[in-house]
Amino acid sequence: MKSRAHSEQGAALVLVMILVTVIALGLAALLTRSDTGIRATVGLRDQAAATYNADGALQASINNLRNSTFNDAAGQKCFGGSNTLQLNGFYGADSAAVTCEADPKKVLIQCPSLSQCNRPGNAILTLGEVSGEDGLNIRQNTGSTFRVRGNVFSNSNINVVNGALNTNASTWARTTCTGTIQSTPAPSCNYGSTPNVLGDDPNYPPSATEPPVHRNLPACTTPNSVVTFLPGTYDDVYGLNDMMKGNSACKNSTWWFKPGVYYFDFRNNGVNANPLLTAGPDGNTWSVNDGYLVAGTPVNAAGAIIASPPVPALIPGSCDNPIKNASAVGVQFIFGGDSRFAIKAGQAEICGTYRVDRSPVAIYGLKSGTDTTTAWTGDGNSLKLTGVTAAGEFTNATTASLATAGGTPIASWNSTKKNDSTVLRVQGFAPTEAIPVGSVLTSAEVKILHRHTDITAADSFDVSLTTGGGPALTGSTSGQLGSTILKVDTIPLDTARTGALAKAVNAGTYSGSTIELKTNLVNSPKADTEYIDSIQLDLTFVPPAFRAGSGCVTSGPYTGGGEDGANCSLVTAVNNSGNQFYVQGTTYAPKAALDITLNNAAEQVFRFGVIARSLWVKETGSFAYTGVVIEVPDDSPGFVFSMYLSVYICPKAATCAPAGSPVLRAKVALVDSDPTTPQAGARQVTILSWSRPG
């Protein structure tokens, strides 16, 4: 019995130990699970706290922007003096920081009013009210549709010869409509004189208040090259046409017009023409007959800015488009006088400059301005005689006596024989200010105030003027009979206006002259005496100026003659299968007609609308593009620009330095009624997107 008891006790002990072990393992598992749960709970709580902190920090930055006047102007910072908003001790012991960066690529349309709108109110606006002239004339294949995006407004009539005119907006014509017009609402034809601000001239100012610096044409020596033009004034249409023809020395090239303002005021023909320029058979029409014209900042096929355009250039898509990029810097082509532009066998793309408060006008036809003639005379403040280099046989021939009328003592010469003569040489006649480069000399005269004593015979003068390089300019006059009264003789020089003086005036290099005056006492007795009181040089010239459209450009009615004839168009694209023409910006020619024939368009031809006196558009039988030809961007309530906000959280830190990956990143847009002058507290901030990079 005793031994059995001891055996059972040992077994019980083993069972107890097994039970204790099982219980211990179970408790350990429970404790481990509990610890894991506690850790997970703490982790989730920390993550939630970070999320709440990030959301709160983002809201704080948005509120800061809402109550600021930040509009990404030059020198501005998002949050006052910094692009980082510090939120120290933002939540308990945690701190936060929010950084910002603008998104310069987003193009935004803002129209608080038509005067401040950065797009026209219409896709097409014609302003002419010329009897017998169509405001809008559309010619196309029967059954085809000419598509427009935006309003169409004619201050006269609309004539759709074939097919249909289709727009997604409204159509108005103050007089009649002919043909099929599709718009929403229905077209308002015979609108009469009912006031409508959309029919008014927006009166866009040019991008310059005076002609930019005069430029000579770049060298044309190598085919298949990039020929670079600099912003400025160009007046030689013959040189441009000679360069851009199929057999020129630089044929098949890319004609790159760098960003800036260009003024085309051709002086080869017409009023105040420059005789130094070659007069060509094309009048003052600039014709692109070869190559690829790229005007603006060049870009590659992906839209990235490149150093210069390639050869051949990819058209369309060769320059930075202001409808796609709010940072686009382009050109403005300004045309003055009867200068005009034609795309023939070449290709062209002209890109304007994006602006917040006005349309990106790429082509501009001047409607005001005129030439003014500058007259400089020796008795004024300029062109003074300043030295006598050879007095000949004259006595008292000094600068003081000859520079101005009434100088004393008067210069005199006593002849010693019949038919006697002597030579007086003077110099000076420098301008007190530089003559503008590109000026056209209109007259040059030497004036001599003199008399002689023999009343039975006449004196005479021969003049020779030298200035800089080139042959001397000569002239003569038969003079006057003897008298006791001083009289003026005028001797014209360089009447052809092609000599050294005209060239110096045109180049802006005229700095003075030397005049050699030969005095002849013909048939006078040897006792005759010649008195010369003054010698004067007078110049008149026409400096470069903004000139309103003139000649055939503004005469009407225009009936479709293109760039030639008594009534011509400012811009013409002719019917040639090899040409392409795109304007990435607004075309503004309120006093001129435009005549465009479409052959190979691959996208919208006129972006940001057309404003003209009269618009003629033809679609040829080979025209395959079925999209919108002329458009304006949709009018939005005013997303001025967008920006990125990145939120950083620094747990248990007094300050927060942005580093690593942000907890939250959001893209927001600032909305203002007037983006140029935001009102703190009155603006809206819209969250466009957000993400948690971590």
Q: What is the pLDDT of residue 26?
A: 54
What pLDDT score was predicted for residue 612?
98
Which pLDDT band holds residue 507 (cuts at 50, 70, 90)? very high
Question: What average pLDDT score do residues 319-324 get?
Answer: 91
Contact 623, 163 (CB under 8 A): no
- Tell me how far apart the 2 most distant CA atoms of the chain are, in Å: 186
Which phi and psi angles does 133 have, rounded to 5°?
A: -115, 125
- The separation between CA 80 and the C-alpha centre of its own chain, rounded to angstroms, equals 33
Indicate whether 579 pLDDT > 90.
Answer: no
Q: What is the pTM of this model?
A: 0.77
- Determine the pLDDT at residue 668: 85
Q: What would the mean pLDDT of 22-46 be, rounded to a whole number? A: 46
Q: Is the pLDDT higher at 545 or at 406? A: 545
Task: Identify which of 385, 391, 393, 439 has the alpha carbon closest to the alpha carbon of residue 415.
Answer: 393
Based on the number of CB atoms within 10 Å of its own CB, is 113 exposed (0-12), middle (13-18) or buried (19 or more)? exposed
All structural domains of the chain, each given as residue ranges with its CATH number in brackets, are: 2-103+644-691 (no CATH), 114-199 (no CATH), 226-369+553-614 (no CATH), 374-542 (2.60.120)
d(C-alpha 677, C-alpha 433), whole Å? 42
Higher pLDDT, 57 or 681: 57
Q: What is the DSSP string of 586-647?
A: EEEEEEEEEEEEESS--S-SEET-EEEEEEEEEE-TT----SEEEE-----S-EEEEEEEEE
If pLDDT is split at 50, 70 and 90, which confidence band does 107 have?
A: low
Cα torsion 369, 374, 380, 385: sign = positive
Number of other CB atoms surrounding residue 308 within 10 Å: 13
The strand order across the sheet containing 684-691 reads 84-91, 94-103, 639-650, 664-671, 684-691
Four-point Cα dihedral 27, 28, 29, 35, nearest 10:
110
- pLDDT of residue 609 exceeding 50, the answer is yes
Kindly report the average pLDDT of the chain as a whole number.
Answer: 88
Are 263 and 546 spatial neighbours (Cβ–Cβ below 8 Å)? yes
What is the pLDDT, as a whole number, of residue 530? Answer: 96
- More confident call, 5 vs 431: 431
Instruction: Find the range with the poorest average confidence among 90-104, 158-172, 263-277.
Output: 90-104
| pLDDT for res 342 | 96
Does residue 5 have a pLDDT over 50?
no
DSSP helix/strand/coil, 35: helix
Among residues of the chain, what percentage have pLDDT more than 90? 68
pLDDT bin (cut points 50, 70, 90) of residue 141 is: confident
Res 6 pLDDT > 50: no
User: Sorting pLDDT into bands at 50, 70 and 90, what band is 45?
Assistant: very low
Q: Is the pLDDT of residue 352 over 70?
A: yes
Higher pLDDT, 671 or 460: 460
pLDDT at 393 over 70: yes
At residue 289, the pLDDT reads 95
Q: Are 94 and 46 in contact (CB under 8 A)?
A: no
Residue 434 has pLDDT above 90, yes or no: yes
Cβ atoms of residues 515 and 529 within 8 Å: no
Structure tokens at 512: 């003075």
Residue 153 has a pLDDT of 97
